[in-house]
Amino acid sequence: MHRSVTPMLLALALLGAGSASAAPQDIKLPAENVKLKPAKLPGYGIAMQKCAICHSADYVAYQPPGLSLTQWTAEMKKMQRAYGAPIDDGEVEQLGAYLAVAYGSAKIKDPEIVAIAQKAGKPAPAAPAGASAPTAAVDVQGLLAKNACLSCHSVTQKVVGPAYHEVATRYKGDAQAQAKLEASIRGGSSGKWGSVPMPPFAGLKADEVKALAAYVRQQ
């Protein structure tokens, strides 16, 4: 007894045959073209350095327009506490001020904005007369954690960016290795290790950049 092939069964058979013979497709994501709006505020540098670790500047466009300083600051607190963004309370405040001016309802000359920006520029307390301040060793592990370096790198395995051991191997024997790595940490880089760019860490002190570069070379 012969059974007739229904149109539905025939369609499923043809679909399965097409799936089996289809070659895998390479998906290439579009280049990141959206940039953060520049502003002469400390929070702009923090945003350039730390926000790009987790998401593109497109995130800002998804927020309601005209958010206030209070609202943007609350958004940064959410990033810090709910999503583990590597920003401290002072940076939360500076980011809120920057975003409120660049994308929200605040003005750069608003008294609240000026007061927040001035906090970032306060110098450290001066050492007593006749006393020399001791030079503290740079806490490399603390810097790696604070700046979320290990979100994109590990010592031995590629994550988003290359493993530190891989970087050390590439630059082994290069007399300019220290200078090149310091430049990449301070100014960011793209195209050296794939399509994902590394954000700049311009807010780091010179001795911190030097210590991080030396740490990577030792791996």
Q: Which of 55, 51, 48, 50 is nearest to 32 (CA)?
A: 55
Q: Which residues pair with 189 in a beta bridge?
A: 198
Pair of tokens at residue 149: 């370096």
Q: Is 165 annotated as a binding residue?
A: no
Is residue 134 a contact partner of residue 170, using CB atoms and an 8 Å limit?
Answer: no
Handedness of CA 206, 212, 213, 218 (dihedral sign): positive
Residue 153, classed as helix, strand or coil, is strand
Q: Which of 103, 108, 117 is nearest to 34 (CA)?
A: 103
Q: Is 8 annotated as a binding residue?
A: no
Residue 158, classed as helix, strand or coil, is strand
Any long-range contacts for 51-54 (C-beta under 8 Å, 24+ apart)? 51/85, 51/95, 52/197, 52/199, 53/86, 53/148, 53/151, 53/152, 53/199, 54/83, 54/85, 54/148, 54/151
Q: Which residues pair with 72 in a beta bridge?
A: none
Q: Is 153 annotated as a binding residue?
A: yes
Q: Which residues are annotated as a binding site for heme c?
A: 149, 153, 198
Annotated binding site: 149, 153, 198
